[in-house]
Structure 1
Amino acid sequence: MRVMVLVKATEDSEQGFNPTPETMAMMEAMGKFNEDLEKAGILLAGDGLKPSSEAKRVAFDGAGRSVIDGPFAETRELVAGFWLWQVKDMDEAVAWVKRCPNPMPGPSEIEIRPIYELEDLLPQAGG
């Protein structure tokens, strides 16, 4: 089972990266965690994202397209980073996230979303 593990943005992450002793220690702990994920054969991809002030959105309305410049208002709805993992089930993904160092200086959340596989999109036999 593949899952997308989303590190939710915070006010701190939306300020951009500031190399303080605290953030450098956090980065070191996260690097160790990523090494553990790699050794376990779980990590497929992952990275941190720059603040939404450097982002764009493209809004679709029928054939129309419009570009919206960041920053975006609802910080708690934004993503600050992600991993793509291959795990046996959701319980394994939750167990790994519980081992993760806090990715932010203060309170934070990590969301785990299963990824559609081809068999999920095919008509079911007998249906």
Structure 2
Amino acid sequence: MPRYLSIVRVDETTAPPEGPSPELMERMGELIEEITKAGVMLDTAGLTPQGEGKRVRWEGGQVTVTDGPFAESKEVIGGYAITQCKDMDEAVEWTKRFVKVHEEYWTVTCEVREIAEA
């Protein structure tokens, strides 16, 4: 069965500064438990704030490293999930359920892509 990577992007302008609510975390935990029991979830995690990250860029034969936060970013990658689904439609259905656990004031975008197998 194919594997899929869901890249979770969060609009920091709509995310609460204190982070996810306890209710959101509870709903998220329940959904992750359901996806895991269904044999779909392979790995998932949230990421630390972009201010704690670094960007490594290769351009023109030179490597540069930039410390976060990255001023030009409105949306940041907030986490990821790796699932194993029968097809893209199933991966998208699970992802739709994931975005719906967030309160209405959040703006969350997930990019779902099949992992290319060697």
Give the alignment's TM-score, normalised by structure 2.
0.84
Give the number of the structure whose residues are more often strand, by fraction.
2
% of aligned pairs identical?
Answer: 36
Q: Any runs of at least 4 consecutive aligned residues in structure 1 with deviations exceeding 2 A, and if so which?
A: 12-16, 61-64, 102-105
| Alignment partner of 1:4 is 2:2 | no
Match of 1:47 in 2: 45
Contact 2:13 2:74 in 1 (8 A): no
Segment drifting more, 58-67 vs 35-44: 58-67
Residues in 1 aligned to 2:27 and 2:104: alpha-carbon distance in whole angstroms:
12
Q: 3-state SS of the aligned residue for 1:94? A: helix
1:85-124 deviation digits (Å, cap 9, x = unpaired): 0111001011111222127842221211111111xxxxxx
CA RMSD, aligned part only? Answer: 2.3
Residues in 2 aligned to 1:116 and 1:66: alpha-carbon distance in whole angstroms:
28
| Alignment partner of 1:74 is 2:61 | no
Distance verdict in 2 for CA 1:25–1:14, change over 3 Å = closer
Distance verdict in 2 for CA 1:79–1:13, change over 3 Å = farther
Query: Which residue of 29, 34, 45 maps to 2:32?
Result: 34
1:26-81 deviation digits (Å, cap 9, x = unpaired): 011001110011000111111001111111011113542211011112222x3101
User: Unaligned stretches of 5+ in structure 1?
Assistant: 119-127
Q: 3-state SS of the aligned residue for 2:57? A: strand
Residues in 2 aligned to 1:3 and 1:49: alpha-carbon distance in whole angstroms:
18
Shift of 1:9: 2.0
Residues in 2 aligned to 1:54 and 1:69: alpha-carbon distance in whole angstroms:
8
User: Unaligned stretches of 5+ in structure 2?
Assistant: none
